[in-house]
Amino acid sequence: MEIVRPKIFSKYKSLICGITTRSWGDFKEPAEYKKNSKRLAKKLKIDPARIVKAGIQNGSDIVFIDKNKKNYPGDCLVSSKRNIYLMVTVADCVPVMFFEPQRKIIALVHAGWKGLAKSILKKAVKKICMKYGIRPENLIFYIGPSISKCHFEVRPAVAGLFPASLITKRSNKLFIDLKNAAKSQLLSARADTKKIEVSSDCTYCLSKKYFSFRREGKKTITAQAAFLGMKK
Ligand SMILES: [Zn+2]
């Protein structure tokens, strides 16, 4: 069973991070989450009770985790503690990981079009840097697999929330480049472009590898998990 690993973090051996693929099953529905997160924890050799899962709200709240709880409302979790494993579920939205290697700060964001329209990534960089006294250019980022500009068709009202440079028009349809929206938001918060890795995987295109809300069009969402933590 494959886990997608960010290359940009590979030299940091204390980090435990990745995105599950379809073969790991769903991480959204509570009973499935319980079963599948246990299997994942076993594979990662971590305690499943130390996983802190974000309660997705499509908002832009930044939540600082000081002790582990099972679930936090919000789309951005931040931690400076070892042995806490942040998790968000995604099924087309963009998972974004942050790591500051000197002070050992981590953050994990669920960035959908709603969160991005509310500048969740820009806010996250700003708040994290203020809280810990760190610099944006020292942060390292991974922008993970999500629905890409080949498939993310939106209504004109949604497209209007994003800069024109992120919109493409094909046969009278509008498409947003969400990953690039995420990257430009990080750059506007003074991130270093050399410290940003962007996955080229489209969750809609790669039907064997990922769940995709748009492609599957089901009422109940099935989702992969993005996770990020530091070993104890
Ligand atoms: Zn695609």
Instruction: Report the separation in Å between the CA atom of 151 and the middle of ligand 1, taken as the mean of its atom positions.
Output: 4
Q: Domain coordinates of the chain in residue numbers?
A: 3-230
Per-residue pLDDT of the chain (232 residues; tens, 9 = 90+): 899 999 999 999 999 999 999 999 999 999 999 999 999 999 999 999 999 999 888 888 899 987 666 677 889 999 999 999 999 999 999 999 999 999 999 999 999 999 999 999 999 999 999 999 999 999 999 999 999 999 999 999 999 999 999 999 999 999 999 999 999 999 999 999 999 999 999 999 999 999 999 999 877 789 999 999 999 8
Task: Give the Å distance between the CA of 154 and the centre of ligand 1.
Answer: 14
Residue 209 C-alpha to ligand 1 middle, in angstroms?
A: 12
Distances in Å between the alpha carbon of 102 and those of 12, 18, 105, 216? 11, 21, 8, 41
Residues in the 5 Å CB sphere of ion ligand 1 = 148, 150-151, 202, 204-205
C-alpha–C-alpha distance, residues 206 and 2, integer Å: 14
How far, in Å, is the centroid of ligand 1 from the Cα of 99? Answer: 28
- 153 Cα–ligand 1 center, Å: 10
What is the CB-side half-sphere exposure of residue 20 using CA atoms within 13 A? 28
Cβ atoms of 107 and 191 closer than 8 Å: no
Q: Tokens 């981590």 label which residue? A: 106
Q: What separation in Å is there between the alpha carbon of 1 and the centre of ligand 1?
A: 22
pTM above 0.85, yes or no: yes
Span from the CA of 158 to the centroid of ligand 1 (angstroms) = 19
CATH architecture of 3-230: 4-Layer Sandwich (3.60)
Burial class of 155 by CB neighbour count within 10 A (0 to 12, 13 to 18, 19+): exposed
Q: According to the model, what pLDDT value does residue 70 have? A: 67
